[in-house]
Chain A
Amino acid sequence: MIFSSFQFLAFLLVVMALLIVVPGQRWRKLTLILASYYFYAYWDWRFLILLLLNTVVNAFLGKAMYTATDARRKKSILIASLVFNLGVLAFFKYFNFFIDSADYILSPLGFHLETVSIILPVGISFFTFESISYVIDIFRGTTKPAESFSDYALFVAFFPRLVAGPIVRPADYLPQLKKPIGIRGDNVWAGAQIFTVGLFKKLILADSVAPFVNQVFADPSYYSGATVWLAVFAYAIQIYCDFSGYSDMAIGIARMLGFHLNRNFHMPYISTSVAEFWNRWHISLSTWLRDYLYIPLGGNRKGSRRTYLNLMITMLLGGLWHGASWNFVIWGGVHGGALGVNRYWERVVKMKATPIGRVLAWAATFLFVCVVWVLFRAPNTATMLAMYSKMLFINADGVQWYYQWFFVAALLMVVGHLIGIYRDRAGAKELVFFDSPYSFKAAFAMSAVLLLIYLFAPTNTNPFIYFQF
């Protein structure tokens, strides 16, 4: 049940109707929990067992952590929690990756290891990280345990962001459960606008370039160097619009239900450095990695060498978080290296920011990010090498395919970013364009965009890319 389907629309309307008719805070929370479980079980009911297990264990450990007075006991509980959460994640997501890698190393010695068939539960990386932050925050004393089991259950399972984020912190979410839960017109209107922006990004931009990207990445050797370059740029559009579109939809749905989720993307492709890119891309993950990995490793407090090492470790693991494959690790490592270079450049080569310098910095950053996306997208090493050799115009002959929808999508991206920059300067914090649905202008704009989406969205919708993570 993906957000852009009629099934989900019907599901959401039912949930909203229930929240209107069901009386009392307690019952409304229960309604949301049951709706979230239904939503999750719709993918595969077996996943629900894992989600429930995660909820029960972490709720219990969180309480135990909070009531423990002994520091050693607190630490033991923390370790138990980390072992449980990371262990479950490692088993479901990384077991076969480790087996494969070990087999690759050991096979020359005559040892062979067999992989096993494991289904990856959707959203496991997201709710595991949320559970870990819950227990660590209690350990640090920066948050208190949820007031009730149902509060914690809703924190973990809240359906708008259950399967692909944004990753929510307990300190941001749990206090919202103390306010009355209900459907309010102003929230519905604001949420609908945010959701529509996300829907547009996903269905009109991401899905329209997807066939081009899929086909060129399937066999880059068939196409010319120029076409391969276009496909790389198209993938940059696709992955951004797919994931940020999903995040916008999640934020919009949450808002319709009366909850506030922080923005997860903030025009990452206008960044003028890799460090800035990571402040704008998948913000909930990058801040999570910063707060729960980079800073505990020592951050930048232990000298420059250690800082570079910490950056690299953080980005390698950040890469691995995306998927159990070496290409993600390498992708993370290359970004880690770039962050190191970025840091070195800022410290050693102190340049004055000039307009031309900013344009060059933007172009270099954008080009770097796009070129490195190949590592992320290529299904195997051979494809990756074929892509790069075409991009270097080695054996660059091949079919010239200048996919027209790519140019339309690119133009729309540019226009969207110009609007975004303008709104940023005007102080807009979220994708809400009209305060009231009563104005004709608002009704006209919203109807026009929705009809455009309906008319032109590909109906063979591609699943969201980040579901696999």
Chain B
Amino acid sequence: MTAGMLSGPAVPKTAQNVAQKLGAYGRLALTWAAAGALVLVIWVALYTLVIGRDRTVYDQDVYEGYRLVGAPGTTQLYTWEGYGVTSYGDNGLVVDKTLDPDVPRLLFLGDSYVEAKQVSDAKKFTEIVQDTWNAANPDHAVQTLNLGMAGQDIRTYLSFGRNMDREFAPSRVFVMLNQQDFLPLANAPDLLAQFQADPTTKLVKPEKLGGAQALISDTPVRQFFLRMLLQTDGFMAGSAETKAAQSELAGNTFDVLEGQEAAVVAQLSALRDIWGDRLVIVYNTYIPAFGKDAAPTYAPDTLMRAAQQLDIPLVNLYEPMLHAFQTQQPPRGFQNTTLGVGHFNEHGHQIIADQILAYLQQAGAGAPRPLEVTP
């Protein structure tokens, strides 16, 4: 490359000189465009093969064609955290199952904590519950259905809950919730009122994709471009504020819903309107880092008081999770991520399964109660 290409020693600007320079720039641009394109193709291929292939299934009947997370497909590979391979089946189920008409179904709803793509299918708490229960109660077998999906919250459960009910006819519906799940609707009370007036109202907006976006989203390379978008967002200054707000929210330890009692009651009531006494809340409570200086028991907070007021059963994960932290068996995190935070690892899933099994035992008043199939 010639020294002083951009500026430097004064050179008479003859037409020939200018043409030479432009030619050099053009050659440079072409070389870099070609190399860049080749690099992009190679990285897309490597990333897709080794790290992320995302073709999340969603059920057209349940989600009414709403494009919530990507396009229909069959498998997902995502090795960023934990185990990393998840199979998606038909009908929006995390673990592919054919519905058994003869046994009660336990439906599990939640976000990525229920979807649990960090552990193998057999280690997901939903599968542990089914396997353990059925081994102990062969005459009263159940089938668990995992409809967890990253990014969902109460808006999704309300919007599509009746469809789920129709599709899967569950005997019990376990919804894993944390306090943050209530905030979107707590901040939009008109929307909830609209839904209560008309239960067909959708509280979520369908993902709108442009031509190129839709094209990419329908292919396995979606994860690569999604990561590029997330990285860009992360590097941009604007997202620093979002991250700060999120971390403040996450760090807001005990009761972020304080003062929002009415909103919490309204949202829980709306959920109960769909599933009635089949609704069970699995409460994913906040635990301070590694359980340090944490109270041994969880004092009732806004969410718990609301659930009690509405007589909705609640499985609180606080104490067993705290115990796991304090006995040096962190229930969250993996060898390739930060231990102690993030999604549940295998130990965490076992703990959740144990709690849900204990609830099921208790719900049977001493003896396992046959769960009835709801028509």
Contact = CB atoms under 8 A, between A and B. Distances in A.
A447 B42 CA distance: 11
A27 interface: no
Interface stretch (A55-63, A193-201, A417-425, A437-445): A437-445
Nearest to A224: B328
Given A185-B3, A455-B227, 12 more contacts: A5-B235, A19-B7, A186-B3, A186-B5, A399-B330, A402-B335, A403-B339, A438-B27, A439-B31, A444-B35, A446-B35, A447-B35
A287 interface: no
B309 interface: no
Contacts of B227: 455
Nearest to A449: B39
Contact of A455 (B34, B38, B43): B43
B14 interface: no
B309 to A, nearest CB: 39
A455 B231 contact: yes
Contact of A184 (B3, B335, B337): B3
| Interface residue SS majority, chain B | helix
A186 B328 contact: no
B237 A436 contact: no
A211 interface: yes
A184 B4 contact: yes
Given A6-B237, A444-B39, A451-B43, A401 B3 contact: no
A215 B338 contact: yes
A176 interface: no
A435 B336 CA distance: 38
A394 interface: no
B1 A443 contact: no
21 contacts: A6-B236, A19-B7, A180-B8, A183-B6, A184-B4, A184-B8, A185-B2, A215-B339, A399-B328, A399-B339, A402-B335, A403-B336, A436-B1, A437-B1, A437-B28, A443-B31, A447-B39, A448-B39, A448-B42, A455-B228, A457-B231
A211 B335 CA distance: 12
B335 A401 contact: yes
Bin the interface of chain A by size. Answer: 35 or more
B7 A184 contact: yes
B1 A459 contact: no
A381 interface: no
B47 interface: yes
Interface of A: 5-7, 19-20, 180, 182-186, 188-189, 211-212, 215, 219, 222, 397-399, 401-405, 435-440, 443-444, 446-448, 451-452, 454-455, 457, 459-460
B231 A184 contact: no
Contacts of A212: 338
Interface string B329-343: 110000111111000
B243 interface: yes
A448 B43 contact: yes
Contacts of B34: 440, 443
A182 B7 contact: yes
Contacts of B38: 444
B32 A447 contact: yes
B40 interface: yes
Nearest to B5: A185
B328 A459 contact: no
A443 B36 contact: yes
Given A5-B235, A183-B7, A186-B3, A440 B31 contact: yes
Interface in B135-158: none
A398 B328 contact: yes
A25 to B, nearest CB: 13
A460 B234 contact: yes
| Interface residue SS majority, chain A | helix
B362 to A, nearest CB: 32
Q: Which of A6, A183, A447, A460 gathers the greatest number of chain B CB atoms within 10 Å?
A: A447
A403 B237 CA distance: 29
Interface string B220-255: 000000011011011111010001000000000000
A457 B46 CA distance: 17
B1 A451 contact: no
Nearest to A227: B339
A443 B3 contact: no
Contact of B336 (A183, A184, A215, A405): A405
B29 to A, nearest CB: 10
Interface pairs A-B: 9 shortest CB-CB: A459-B234, A185-B5, A443-B35, A404-B336, A447-B39, A444-B35, A211-B338, A447-B36, A443-B32
B182 interface: no
Contacts of A457: 231, 235
A447 B43 CA distance: 11
Contact of B243 (A183, A436, A444, A460): A460
B290 interface: yes
Given A6-B236, A402-B335, A454 B231 contact: yes
Contact of B1 (A189, A219, A398): A189
Contact of B228 (A19, A215, A399, A454): A454
Nearest to A401: B339
A20 B7 contact: yes
Nearest to A10: B237
A444 B39 CA distance: 7
A222 B290 contact: yes
Nearest to A448: B39
A6 B336 contact: no
Contacts of B290: 219, 222
B228 to A, nearest CB: 7
Contacts of B336: 403-405
A142 to B, nearest CB: 31
A185 B24 CA distance: 12
A87 B341 CA distance: 45
Interface string B353-366: 00000000000000
A440 B310 CA distance: 68
Q: Which of B6, B42, B228 gathers the greatest number of chain A CB atoms within 10 Å?
A: B6
B39 A185 contact: no
Contacts of B329: 399
